[in-house]
């Protein structure tokens, strides 16, 4: 297996580097979900999670889980009627406007009548019920097949809305058309224009190509996620018959080509036709052969980078799963950018297929899947937390790492007391641990 790590996607001292934590997934937060495929939190709301049910009959639903009581509310937050049921179709995602507290706006991505539909809604006077009459169509993409729809959406750190569009199992000729929306991540400004505006910083504005386009060369990006601290975009792209891959896009760096259909993972796939030169391809941070996972790997499920309150040591660790093999993995990166892949299946007590990951407003990590459950991954720090580079010693290297982040807000690895700021309290903890780790 080849692993290609792109130098410009790496930043030192942001990434978890050692297992100075205990990891488990013993908290089943809710049961009774039907085909859950998405998890989202409203900004600033640490009491609820919103779970997307792909289809129940011909309706997709958004359900609310009360995190204060760990219960699934009986009535849906939103029901979207007439979705295309079956396979990779249905209601696929929900995301909330960054100013949801004041404007009550949220967006859903569904497949209906042969189209990908991006629609905006607002919440009603009841915070647990959406206003179905508030629906406004933002974007419609006509599809040719029911496959490879992606369905991911998320607001980026720049306030723009990012939308994943799979290749729809299209031919290479169509995928390589500059104006095609397929096999891309789109970026729009839903707060300007009607129904949206094109951000002028999009890479193909005023050039041959789709103005909404942000990245291309993707097959079926099933669950992407922004790192809330670094702004990097992690993209899990489902392969065809050989490789699955995890791509990392540096913060606000559009215009990248991730290889498909010319490459699958790091391997050439269809290199005839209008393929970019290898030097113009952003190869994955991690690619794995489907045959490597006991011969049962088949489809990567993208996760998130942990930035939660439970463990400083775990911060910067990316979680992902493989659907068919029933396994969960993590990726950590050293200061030099070398990725380490660890099988966490036993640690999180996984016994069913994972379809999606999500995080609550505090940064705690969750997953859901075919068993109809929502599960929280629990982590606590153990061992030598101040040993940033995992060399068994708390020394000047670790001190330098902390000082490089001094005064920064956010869930940095160097924030040892997990108060979202690197300050004197963290320095005191580091100096108190000086020397060889126990």
Q: Where in the chain do CATH 2.120.10.30 domains reside?
A: 20-381
Q: Where in the chain do CATH 1.10.1330 domains reside?
A: 393-436
Q: Distance (Å, rounded) from C-alpha 255 to C-alpha 280?
A: 10
Instruction: Note the pLDDT tens digit of each residue in 308-360.
Output: 888 888 889 999 999 888 899 999 987 778 899 999 988 887 778 899 999 99
Mean pLDDT of 82-91: 93
Q: CATH says 20-381 is which class?
A: mainly beta
pLDDT at 9: 32
From the CA atom positions of the chain, what is the Rg in Å?
21
Instruction: Note the pLDDT tens digit of each residue in 128-183.
Output: 999 999 999 999 999 989 999 999 999 999 999 999 999 998 877 666 677 889 99
Q: Distance (Å, rounded) from C-alpha 8 to C-alpha 251?
A: 10
Q: What torsion, rounded to 10 degrees, do the Cα atoms 284, 303, 339, 217 define?
A: 10
Higher pLDDT, 18 or 401: 401
pLDDT at 295: 66
Q: Distance (Å, rounded) from C-alpha 110 to C-alpha 121?
A: 13
Alpha-carbon distances of 337 from 13, 208, 253, 317, 393, rounded to whole Å: 10, 34, 18, 13, 20
Query: What are the DSSP E strand ranges found in 99-194?
Result: 105-112, 115-123, 130-142, 153-155, 161-165, 184-188
Instruction: Note the pLDDT tens digit of each residue in 12-60.
Output: 333 344 455 667 657 899 999 999 999 999 999 999 999 999 999 999 9
Q: Is 36 helix (H, G, I), strand (E, B) or coil?
A: strand
Alpha-carbon distances of 334 from 13, 15, 217, 248, 425, rounded to whole Å: 8, 7, 27, 15, 25
Q: What CATH fold (topology level) applies to the domain 393-436?
A: Type 1 dockerin domain (1.10.1330)
pLDDT at 92: 98
């Amino acid at each position: 297996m080849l692993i290609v790590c792109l130098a410009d996607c790496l930043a030192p001292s942001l990434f978890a580097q050692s297992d100075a934590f205990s990891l488990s997934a013993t908290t089943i937060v809710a049961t009774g979900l039907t085909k859950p495929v998405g998890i989202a939190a409203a900004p600033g709301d640490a009491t609820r999670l919103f779970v997307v049910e792909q289809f129940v009959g011909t309706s997709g639903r958004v359900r609310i889980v009360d995190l204060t009581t760990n219960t699934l509310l009986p009535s849906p937050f939103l029901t979207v009627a007439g979705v295309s049921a079956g396979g990779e179709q249905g209601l696929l995602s929900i995301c909330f406007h960054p100013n949801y507290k004041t404007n009550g706006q949220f967006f859903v991505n569904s497949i209906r009548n042969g189209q990908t539909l991006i629609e905006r809604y607002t919440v009603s006077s009841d915070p647990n019920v959406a206003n179905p009459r508030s629906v406004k169509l933002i974007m419609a993409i006509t599809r040719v097949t029911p496959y490879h729809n992606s369905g991911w959406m998320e607001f980026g750190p720049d306030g723009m809305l990012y939308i994943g569009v799979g290749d729809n199992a299209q031919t290479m000729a169509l995928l390589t058309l500059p104006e095609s929306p397929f096999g891309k991540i789109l970026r729009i400004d839903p707060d300007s224009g009607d129904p949206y505006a094109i951000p002028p910083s999009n890479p193909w504005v005023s050039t041959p190509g789709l103005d909404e386009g942000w990245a291309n060369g993707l097959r079926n990006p099933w669950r992407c996620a922004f790192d809330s601290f670094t702004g990097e975009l992690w993209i899990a792209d489902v392969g065809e018959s050989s490789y699955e891959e995890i791509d990392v896009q540096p913060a606000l760096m559009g215009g990248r080509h991730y290889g498909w259909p010319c490459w699958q993972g790091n391997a050439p796939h269809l290199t005839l036709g209008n393929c970019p030169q290898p030097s113009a391809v952003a190869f994955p941070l991690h690619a794995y052969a489907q045959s490597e996972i006991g011969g049962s790997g088949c489809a990567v499920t993208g996760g998130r980078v942990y930035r939660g309150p439970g463990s400083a040591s775990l911060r910067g660790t990316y979680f992902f799963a493989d659907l068919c093999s029933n396994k969960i993995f993590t990726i950590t990166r050293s200061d030099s950018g070398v990725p380490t892949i660890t099988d966490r299946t036993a640690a999180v007590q996984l016994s069913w297929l994972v379809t999606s990951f999500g995080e609550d407003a505090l940064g705690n990590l969750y997953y859901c899947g075919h068993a109809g459950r929502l599960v929280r991954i629990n982590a606590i720090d153990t061992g030598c937390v101040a040993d940033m580079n995992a060399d068994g010693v708390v020394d000047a290297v670790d001190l330098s790492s902390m000082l490089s982040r001094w005064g920064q807000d956010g869930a940095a690895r160097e924030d040892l007391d997990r108060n979202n700021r690197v300050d004197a309290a963290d320095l005191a903890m580091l100096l108190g641990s000086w020397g060889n780790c126990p």
